[in-house]
Structure 1
Amino acid sequence: MSLSQRILIYAELLSNIRQVSVGCTLPTPVSTATQATVSADGRALTIAHDGSNQTVQLPEAVAPLSQLPISKSGGTSLSWRLPLAAPLIRRTLPVSEEAVPWSATDLEPGSVVACRTCKSTIVDAGTLKVWKDLPSENWAEMMEFWHCHKPHGHIHDNDEEHLTNRGYGASSRIAAQPGVGFVDLTSFLLADSDLVTSSISVSASTNGAGNETKATIALHCTSCKVQLGARSDQALSTSIFKWQVVVEQQNRSAPESSPNLAQCVSAMLLATMARSGCSKSILLPIKTRTDLPLNGSKSERASQEQDVLSIWMFNANITFSSTEAPTSPVNAAKVLYRTVSQVEANKMLESITSDVEDVSLPSEAITTIFGLLNKSNFLIPQSDRKFKEWTVGLLEKWNGKDG
């Protein structure tokens, strides 16, 4: 049965007003036989319509109602606001305290790191002696600010060279260390010597690329060809994407799940918002050497530029259930998204009054995220799927070790 022929129910927890919002799209107009009821424990809602029944597990228990009011307008949309059965116990976390997918404390030293698709070993057991969390993205700027405004008893250093020599100037980078797994928000930074080189293939480099010094080198699984990570031209470290690997732990109980791409991207967007205060982001593809044009005019290069994905964080912390989401209820971020031209994106990012931040991801990952957002749009009632020129989407969030 196609989606247009099924009863679609979507429920979202409104924690600030202690209610659950429920929306429903029916395949045919409401009739006198249409009914909506809440289970005795307040955990489920069932709609009976035109000979079919559909039940959704609610994100929180609501006050049980034997019969919900049904509008007799003859339309195909229904909606309710249901009060919670009891006050919420759990605290809504601020954006700055959101769980990070796989922090260093979640990972066991000596663990095997393997390709998630084909299970090829990327890092052998016993290679990584310790996992260390990397500081936030703006750590260099924070340290530079401290040195520019430190107490009078200290020598005032304005020279960037002094800051760089200390290891935290704006131009400094964290270099990989053999035996250490540095944990970034969405990737592992590893030394080349710790990798199983036979499991990783490097994209062929392109000589003479005009912007070559700013490019990265894509790293792929030799067996299944998925992109596992990237390496900068400076080759200070290799980044392995968390969503492309599994970490096989020996002594600790293994997590029930590994962070997926949506969970990693939502963490990136939330961290960007916490750091900059900007709720809008442009997802820009990471340029690899093979992406760069060898020659040609500016117009030819511009013709290769594709539209980019713009995402507006509408609600950073929701819990929803949908009859089209088998794992309901789900913790997620509600976003608005649309595609914009590269020219428009550049204008937004370069504006003096810009309220937009850029987030870099591999092209394939951005394409996948766009597909996931489009798919999530169909979890929502038809009347709520658009907001002006924006499309409404849902990005699953990481909830801890077990996802």
Structure 2
Amino acid sequence: MARYFSEYLPRLKTTSVQVELPRDQVDSVEVRDDSVVINSSIDIKLPSAIQSSQASHAVNAVSPGLTSIRIRDRQAAFLANDSIESFLQDQYQWNISNIQKYHMHDVLRCVSCDSPIIDLKEVKKLLPMPSELWYEMLDFWHCHKPTVENNNIGLLKKFNQLKPNPKTLIIGSYYFIANPEDWANIEACGQENESLECGCCHEILGELDSNIGNYKILKWQLKVENELFKPFAYISLKLVEEMNYSAVRVFQIIDEKSKRSIQVWCFGLGIDINVDTLGVMKNCLKILYKENMQEDSTSRLKGGNNNSEILVEYEKSFDDFCIWLQKVNQALPENLQKYNDWNVTYIPI
């Protein structure tokens, strides 16, 4: 069967379906609410359902071996939650809503040996991390923040430190913050007890905050009901945050340990897609990328001086990110895999 790719662009209320068939071999196109049927035999699922009775479509040749079907749903509603801000409001995997589904009956387990790490039945309260930049923004949040000069050292610590109460779990975009005394199967390790490991198999689970004493447990080192957290999400969420806070769209992503790097150029957010061998993916970020870019040979785009660096401290996350970009790129129809000298890919947020 010919490879295909479809994407739903919410701002344009348009779905684009592209299939590896010459235009003269496309004899018929039937648009349904949830799929497009070509030549009565090729059934392509749409990434987002439409009202076929209100939709119009056009069939065009993109290249000699690629045909495009463009579908516009005139009744589709524009959804405001496809903005960058909405993805920063607790929209990540294993947010509070997700964890609450497991709260009364399940356990966060070690991804390596399946040993229980955090028994969710024992968690008294779930709280969201206020912001990844909460400390940097501290001065803007308090009009009368206590000072050391006023001998309010205890109160100052309360304002400057984020420490959960006993049996409370603070949920960040890619980690959990917990009290050390709450969970016996997590042990400190390393030369200065800076890392955390599973008490059974000694798999590294995260790191110890030496200033406050919190446990920072990485989500991809855990699983719940055989559901896994994707390590690449650490980088994709960083990209969304940087796009929101700095308005930059071109980034040099650098693995802190190996110094390997990859340059990415970020486009539309909130795109639903269906890739031939990978299936439907919701809320994706479109990315153009180049691998192993060196600082002195970085391409200068229009506005290229605004390129920003993202240092990745977790090698597992960097490797998973690179593998995912290549996996989606190779699954696209061949004519869609490149844009000039950039590789084209998509990543779910």
Q: TM-score range by the shorter chain?
A: 0.7 to 0.9
Q: Deviations over 1:51-95 (max 9, x none)?
A: x9532111232647999646498x211123222263236444321
In the alignment, is the contact (CA less than 8 A) between 2:251 and 2:308 conserved in 1? yes
Residue 134 (1) aligns with residue 87 (2): no
SS class of match (2:173): coil
2:247 to 255, 271, 277: 277
What is the match of residue 393 of structure 1?
345
SS class of match (1:318): strand
2:230 to 260, 271, 275: 260
What is the match of residue 67 of structure 2?
78
Amino acid corresponding to residue 278 of structure 1 in structure 2: V
What is the match of residue 325 of structure 2?
373
Q: 1:354 and 1:89 mapped to 2: Cα distance? A: 31
* Structure whose CA Rg is larger: 1
> Quick one: percent identity of the two aligned structures?
20
Q: 1:66 and 1:36 mapped to 2: Cα distance? A: 14
Number of residue pairs the alignment of both structures matches: 335
Q: 1:367 and 1:217 mapped to 2: Cα distance? A: 23
What is the match of residue 19 of structure 1?
14
Q: 1:316 and 1:369 mapped to 2: Cα distance? A: 17
1:230 to 207, 217, 221: 207
Residue 166 (1) aligns with residue 156 (2): yes
Q: CA deviation at 1:165?
A: 6.2
Instruction: Give the CA RMSD over aligned residues.
Output: 4.0
Amino acid corresponding to residue 189 of structure 1 in structure 2: I
In the alignment, is the contact (CA less than 8 A) between 2:61 and 2:67 conserved in 1? yes
**TM-score scaled to structure 1, two decimals?**
0.68
Q: Deviations over 1:355-391 (max 9, x none)?
A: 4152534101110111011001123232222234432
Spell out the pairing of 1:114-263 with structure 2 (5 A cutoff): 114-124=109-119, 126-145=121-140, 150=143, 166-167=156-157, 172-175=160-163, 177-197=165-185, 202=189, 204-205=190-191, 217-221=194-198, 227-234=204-211, 236-247=213-224, 259-263=229-233
1:316 to 269, 278, 282: 269
What is the match of residue 2 of structure 2?
7
Listed as ranges, the gaps of 5+ residues in structure 1 are: 1-5, 207-215, 249-255, 288-304, 398-403
SS class of match (1:366): helix
2:77 to 88, 91, 98: 88
In the alignment, is the contact (CA less than 8 A) between 1:335 and 1:395 conserved in 2? yes
Q: 1:320 and 1:130 mapped to 2: Cα distance? A: 36
In the alignment, is the contact (CA less than 8 A) between 1:242 and 1:259 conserved in 2? yes
What is the match of residue 291 of structure 2?
339
Listed as ranges, the gaps of 5+ residues in structure 2 are: none
Spell out the pairing of 1:14-53 with structure 2 (5 A cutoff): 14-26=9-21, 30=22, 32-39=24-31, 41-48=32-39, 53=41
Structure-2 change in CA distance of 1:359 and 1:174 (3 Å): farther
Q: 1:343 and 1:135 mapped to 2: Cα distance? A: 34
Q: 1:229 and 1:67 mapped to 2: Cα distance? A: 50
In the alignment, is the contact (CA less than 8 A) between 1:176 and 1:189 conserved in 2? yes
Amino acid corresponding to residue 76 of structure 1 in structure 2: G
**TM-score scaled to structure 2, two decimals?**
0.77
Q: Deviations over 1:201-241 (max 9, x none)?
A: 84x439xxxxxxxxx94444466665432334547222212
In the alignment, is the contact (CA less than 8 A) between 2:60 and 2:69 conserved in 1? no
Q: Deviations over 1:14-47 (max 9, x none)?
A: 2222221222224xxx3854435224x3422234
1:57 to 45, 50, 72: 45
Structure-2 change in CA distance of 1:118 and 1:70 (3 Å): same
What is the match of residue 298 of structure 1?
none
Task: Give the stretch that moved more between structures: 330-339 or 173-182.
Answer: 173-182
In the alignment, is the contact (CA less than 8 A) between 2:15 and 2:71 conserved in 1? yes
